[in-house]
Amino acid sequence: MDLRSVQLPSGTFTIGKRFHFEAGHRLPGLPPEHKCAQQHGHSYEIELVLTAPTLEKPGFVTDFGALAPFKEFLDAELDHHNLHEILPFEPTSERLAQFLAGWFIQNVQPTIPGRLVAVLVRETARSWARFDVEGQ
């Protein structure tokens, strides 16, 4: 088979990259008997999803290395902290995903070709929250 004969369809390119940090939190807005009202911790997994209609040389939506400032932010500001003590909102996974999307759009996105589509926050292997960015 001549591989050059394969027709490339039109469409959008999407990439994802996962990051990790450890943090504690509690949700003081819940009733005291709710388990999440008590101090507890998670091994958070954050996934950024980016898109672009065309690729930058040599064929990237965004070079994964260009996302390093996001990891540096997670390590410096969130890793091994109590999130309810440092964030200006009750640190549910949903709100954390929205906050991380806002930080990324403000601090990293202006320097890269790809655009943020979504942020996923996983507290456990079986539970996650996703914030989808509008208008990107």
Spell out the residues 6+ positions from residue 121 whose beta carbon is closer than 8 angstroms to its own. 44, 45, 46, 93, 94, 96, 97, 100, 128, 129, 130
**Shortest CA distance to 43 belongs to which of 101, 126, 103?**
126
72 is catalytic: no
**Shortest CA distance to 54 belongs to which of 14, 18, 24, 82?**
14
Catalytic member of 36, 45, 81, 90: 36
Contact 17, 108 (CB under 8 A): no
25 is catalytic: no
From the number of C-beta atoms within 10 Å of its C-beta (0-12, 13-18, 19+), residue 5 rates as exposed
Strand partners, 24: 41, 82
Catalytic member of 20, 34, 40, 80: 80
33 is catalytic: no
Residues annotated as catalytic (active site), given as ranges:
36, 80, 123
